[in-house]
A and B are shown apart, each in its own frame.
Chain A
Amino acid sequence: MAEIEGGGGGKQKTGKVRSKKVSTKVDMTPMVDLAFLLITFFMLTTTLSKPQVMKITMPYKDKDKKNQDMQDLKASRVLNLILGEEDEIYYYHGLDQPQMEVTDYSADGIRKIFNEKKKTVDTVVVIIKAMDKSKFKNIVDILDEVHITNIRTYSIVDITPEDLALVAKEKEVSSASTEK
């Protein structure tokens, strides 16, 4: 394509006309440079990786019905989580007389607790309550852990004043123990 021979000028037997030997080859290098520059540009501006989505289903906002559901739950199956303000998780088992404990989002933290809970009861019900100043990523992380451990039943509910009081108490206890 680019090498257009000048009418076979280079192969004349007589060799009188020397200047005709100059080939008409076009130097493609700058063109290739340009082409690859543009390719790079378009590759970088193209959004190749589309973001993912996580499906989430919220319970119906019907207060009477919700209380009914809660009463139907067997207390032993319930695991309550309270997402704290500084990437910590407070959790307790059952519905009343809670024994509050603290953990975090690492694989040794909440995932272990989920797995242990799964061994003791058939269907774990995780109730997630987030404090107002906890982060959005905390919610996504905890839903992720729920999905990783294959827990089918979970719900995100509003935090109650009792839970807030429990968290405040727990914080007091832990700060007192660090002072000692």
Chain B
Amino acid sequence: MSKGSSRKSVSLDMTAMCDMGFLLLTFFILTAKMKSPETVAIDTPSSISTEKLPEVQVLKITLDKSGRIFYSISDQATRLLTLDYMKEKYKVAFSDAEKARFIKLEMFGMPIAQLRPFMALSEDMKKKFQQPGIPVDSTNNELKMWIDATKRADPKCRIIVKGDRDAYYESYNKIVSTLQELNLNNFSLVTTLEVKP
């Protein structure tokens, strides 16, 4: 503010700031990937591993606190192929509309018999629905069938186990022995970063 012109107002020129603000805004909008709505809250344990979680070609098995098992496939094409294999295996007739719905399904945890009625629910009802988890008993190991189907659909996909810190080893071991039965001995565990001592 020069002393000579007393008429000039003291308002700051906001233009530059506004420009910068919108530039950043555009950047964040374009790079933003919304947090996918989580079916279950998982508190992962921490480790010193620094390897990043891959985003594509991932088969994720989620284990929650109470031992329920959820299943998710990252790629939509793989989802469709997996469902086709499962359809033949369990003789469940999925219509084309249901297949399209399944492709949109990020994560599920229920016996395959319950899958069709579940997909018919509205989004709100889906959130409220208490999913029982995928059965892994020795008599009815559907998880094994799902993994086998996904591996056939995409042999290169990586297996990732995301477990809750307080999940019992017992239920984790069920997943691991299922993987071992299928001779899939290499997999990864999801962790949060911890500082190396």
Q: CB within 8 Å of B: which residues of A?
A: 1-3, 25, 27-29, 31-32, 35-36, 38-39, 42-43, 45-47, 49-61, 83, 107, 130-141, 143-144, 147-148, 156, 158
- B129 CB within 8 Å of chain A: no
- Contact A27/B11 with A35-B21, A51-B53 known, Cβ cut-off 8 Å: yes
A46 to B32, CA, bound (A): 5
In the complex, chain B residues whose CB is within 8 Å of the CB of A42: 25, 28-29, 32
- B24 CB within 8 Å of chain A: yes
In the complex, chain B residues whose CB is within 8 Å of the CB of A156: 176
Q: Which of B69-77, B87-95, B120-128, B163-171 contacts A (4 or more CB under 8 A)?
A: B163-171
Name the residue of chain A whose CB is nearest to the CB of B163: A136
In the complex, chain B residues whose CB is within 8 Å of the CB of A39: 21, 24-25, 28
Chain B: residues with Cβ within 8 Å of the partner, total of 59
Smallest distance from the beta carbon of B155 to chain A beta carbons, Å?
Answer: 18
Query: Of A38, A50, A132, which is within 8 A of B169 by CB?
Result: A132
In the complex, chain A residues whose CB is within 8 Å of the CB of B32: 42, 45-46
In the complex, chain A residues whose CB is within 8 Å of the CB of B192: 51-52
- B48→A133 contact, CB < 8 A: no
Given contacts A54-B191, A130-B169, A130-B173, list 11 more A-B pairs with CB under 8 A.
A31-B14, A35-B25, A39-B21, A49-B193, A54-B190, A57-B186, A136-B167, A136-B168, A136-B169, A140-B47, A144-B47
Within 87-107 of B, Cβ neighbours of A (below 8 Å) are at: none
Q: Mark B161-189, 1 if CB is under 8 A from A, else 0.
A: 00111111110110011011101011111
CB<8 Å pairs between A and B, sample of 11: A42-B28, A46-B31, A46-B33, A52-B53, A55-B49, A55-B187, A58-B180, A131-B169, A132-B170, A136-B168, A147-B47
- Contact A137/B45 with A51-B190, A132-B170 known, Cβ cut-off 8 Å: yes
A43 to B187, CA, bound (A): 32
A136 to B173, CA, bound (A): 9
A58 to B63, CA, bound (A): 18
- A47→B35 contact, CB < 8 A: yes
- B39 CB within 8 Å of chain A: no
- Contact A58/B24 with A1-B15, A31-B18, A148-B196 known, Cβ cut-off 8 Å: no
Smallest distance from the beta carbon of B88 to chain A beta carbons, Å?
Answer: 27
For chains A and B in complex, what number of residue pairs have CB atoms within 8 angstroms?
Answer: 163
- B179→A55 contact, CB < 8 A: no
- Contact A140/B45 with A31-B18, A39-B28, A43-B28 known, Cβ cut-off 8 Å: yes
Within 5-38 of B, Cβ neighbours of A (below 8 Å) are at: 9, 11, 13-15, 17-18, 21-22, 24-25, 28-29, 31-35
Smallest distance from the beta carbon of B21 to chain A beta carbons, Å?
Answer: 3
- B156 CB within 8 Å of chain A: no
- A137→B180 contact, CB < 8 A: no
In the complex, chain B residues whose CB is within 8 Å of the CB of A59: 185
- Contact A140/B169 with A52-B51, A60-B183 known, Cβ cut-off 8 Å: no
Q: Which of B13, B28, B177, B180 has most chain A Cβ within 10 Å? A: B28
- B51→A53 contact, CB < 8 A: yes
- B160 CB within 8 Å of chain A: yes
A137 to B46, CA, bound (A): 8
Would you list the 4 A-B pairs with minimal beta carbon distance, nearest first?
A28-B14, A35-B21, A42-B28, A137-B165
